[in-house]
Structure 1
Amino acid sequence: MADLAGTGIKTEIKASRSAAASAFYGLSRQALAAVIVPAVGLLFWEVAVAAGWFSGRLMPPPSRVLATLWVLLKSGELFNHIGITTVRVFFGFVLGTVAATIAGAVTGYFGLARRLIDPSLQALRSIPSIAWVPLFILWFGIFEASKVALIAVGVFFPVYLGVSGAILSVDRKIVEVGRIFRLSGFALVRRIMLPAVLPAYVLALRSGLGLGWMFVVAAEFMGASEGLGYLLVDGQQLGKPDQIMAAIITFAIVGKVTDSLLLAATAPFLTWQDSYRRGE
């Protein structure tokens, strides 16, 4: 019996090691695939500038951009700018998401609310982001409140559309099945509506987060003295394209990291899905 137990434990250990190795291999392959295209693009960019196809003054090569990033990194400026911009995006994302989720749920679930509120929100959605800037400066001043408010506006509309549209697209037959089983209103929402809406909601959150990073640039144009948007403005005013490109690349990296964190945080809520190519 002891031998059998020992054999079973060894088999389980081998199986767990094999699963861990397979997961590590899968993650490594995904990471390698993710960097191939940027690496090829950067290499082409470097070669093109060295060959004189592009002006190195206006299109600084990656080597110069990396040198600028290294200088900002060593001085501690880069982390300071990243931290300030990320905090602004975080608070704007939270405020915009909460407001959009409530508004989307109300207009998606209640027909009267949809007829009363949705047309006005759709009209507001068409207003360019930069048009809000002078109004928010008058309302909130040039400090953090106006910047967070502008980011929240950018986050609000994609999340609102995602929530409202997802509720409206829930299959009527599924809801009728829940009513046949006499589920209460809360149970119907929890057991049928919520799982049906979650995939589209996660997608809407990702879209909202992406727009939050876009809107933070406009927000940091409003008299900011710190942040990645400030680096862009400072580079433009001082004629430093390498600093502008460094800020753009940093935006891309930090935005991708936050998107991956959002995906990781929401993945446990979608484990029930058996969608096409999920295992890849």
Structure 2
Amino acid sequence: MTVIDKAPTTTPYEGDVRVVRRRLGPGRRFRGAFWAGPAVVLAIWAAGSATGLIKPAILTSPWDVVIAFGTQWTDHDLLGDILSSLTRAASGLAIGVLTGAVLAVLSGLSRVGESLIDGPIQIKRSIPTLALIPLFIAWFGIGQEMKIVTIALISLVPIYVHTHNGLRGIDGRYAELAETLDLRRGEFVRHVVLPGALPGFLLGMRFAVTSSLLGLVVVEQYNATAGIGHMITLAEQYGQTDVIVVGLVIYGIFGYCADTAVRLTGRKVLAWRQTLEG
């Protein structure tokens, strides 16, 4: 009786694929992952300042920044400056996100809308928003309106572009399925198109948040009577580098917290995609 060796159930190639997946997969998330990178940067900054590798003339030490923060908080209106900057950024960002999303939907769901809207938006993309500030000053003056309009316009473009791409990139098989199920256009848009465009919208949100803070940093240099930019401008006049670093750190915390909030929201909202993709 001849004995036939049983062929291995797993080929070397399949085994290699499994190893590659283990190495390249997302792996397990650990608590505090969002703060690991900033913590490393802070540790390097502190170590460099303590050992003298980073001179105070180049970058103020972290402990001096903490002292300057306390001084600004107790002896000056740092809380008022923070709230003023947050109000400007939030107002401009809200207007930009709402306008960009509406324009993207109108352009992405209608060929007429795309012919009327997409061209001007693409022209705007080639013109830096910060270069329009002198024109905005002539239109709106040098007050709060100019600052909010600048932040709104600089936030609008990434929202529009990524949401529009998300709408245009939806798989055509979903449209065929909707026709098979005899879905109405409103139901198709509400249940298929908009959820399918949500990843693009959230990606645009991450860029919009960063862009809004970039605009905030610039516009607060123009005749601002309150805000982090106003504090930095005064510190520059008096040569207070530690206060300048305080303002930069606060801007960085604004951006990192906002980006983290968008990423966490995306994980919660897009959990259904992970389930479908396995």
Stretch deviating more after TM superposition (56-65 or 267-276): 267-276
Q: Which moved more, 1:181-190 or 1:129-138?
A: 129-138
Does the CA contact (< 8 Å) of 1:68 and 1:242 recur in 2? Answer: yes
Q: Give the superposition deviation at 1:95.
A: 0.5
- The alignment partner of 1:60 has SS state of coil
- Aligned partner letter, 2:36: A
Task: Report whether the alignment pairs 1:65 with 2:65.
Answer: yes
SS in structure 1 at match of 2:59: coil
| Cα distance per residue 1:56-87 (max 9 Å; x no partner) | 22422222222111211223522111110001
Q: Deviations over 1:33-69 (max 9, x none)?
A: 344322322223313xx52x44422422222222111
2:3 is matched with: none
1:142 is matched with 142
176-185 vs 54-63, which deviates more? 54-63
Task: After TM superposition, list the pairs within 5 Å mapping 1:196-215 onto structure 2.
Answer: 196-215=196-215
Aligned to 2:126: 126
The alpha carbon displacement at 1:265 in A equals 4.9
TM score, norm. by length of structure 1: 0.81
Mapped pair 1:41 → 2:59:
no
Q: Counterpart of 2:272 in 1: which secondary structure?
A: coil
* Equivalence for 1:113: 113
Tell whether the 8 Å contact from 1:46 to 1:63 is kept in structure 2 after alignment.
no
CA distance in 1, matches of 2:181, 2:38: 50
State the distance in 2 between where 1:193 and 1:64 align: 52
1:160-171 residue pairs with structure 2 within 5 A?
A: 160-171=160-171
In structure 2, runs of 5+ residues without a counterpart are: 1-28
Contact conserved, 2:142 with 2:223, CA < 8 A, in 1? yes
Residue type of the alignment partner of 1:122: Q
1:14 maps to what in 2? none
Contact 2:46/2:61 (CA < 8 Å) preserved in 1? no
**Which segment is superposed worse, 80-89 or 27-36?**
27-36
Give the Cα separation in 2 of the matches to 1:257 and 1:176.
41
Residue pair 2:158, 2:204 contacting (<8 A) in 1 also: yes
1:236 alignment partner in structure 2:
236
**CA positional deviation for 1:130:** 2.4
Q: Hey, what does 1:191 align to over in structure 2?
A: 191
Is the contact between residue 155 and residue 212 of structure 1 (CA under 8 Å) also seen in structure 2? yes
| 1:61-119 deviation line (CA, Å, top 9, x unaligned) | 22222211121122352211111000111110111011101111111111232233212
Taking a change above 3 Å as real, the CA distance of residues 179 and 45 of structure 1, as seen in their structure-2 partners, is farther
Aligned length: 251
Letter in 2 for 1:39: L
Structure 1: tracts of 5 or more residues without a match:
1-25
Residues 1:253 and 2:253 are matched in the alignment: yes
Q: By how many angstroms is 1:160 displaced?
A: 0.5
Q: Deviations over 1:215-247 (max 9, x none)?
A: 011111221011111122222222222111111
In the alignment, structure 1 residue 90 sits paired with structure 2 residue 93? no
Moved over 6 A (4+): 275-278
Q: Contact 1:232/1:243 (CA < 8 Å) preserved in 2?
A: yes
Taking the aligned partners of 1:65 and 1:277, their CA distance within structure 2 comes to 46
Cα pair distance change 1:177/1:86, threshold 3 Å: same
The change in CA–CA distance for 1:276 and 1:71 in structure 2 (over 3 A counts) is farther
- Inter-partner Cα distance in structure 2 for 1:29 and 1:212: 26
Question: What is the RMSD computed on CA atoms of the aligned residues?
Answer: 2.4
C-alpha distance in 2, partners of 1:132/1:27?
44
1:263 deviation in Å?
4.1
Q: Is the 8 A contact 2:101 2:160 kept in 1?
A: yes
SS of equivalent to 1:273: helix
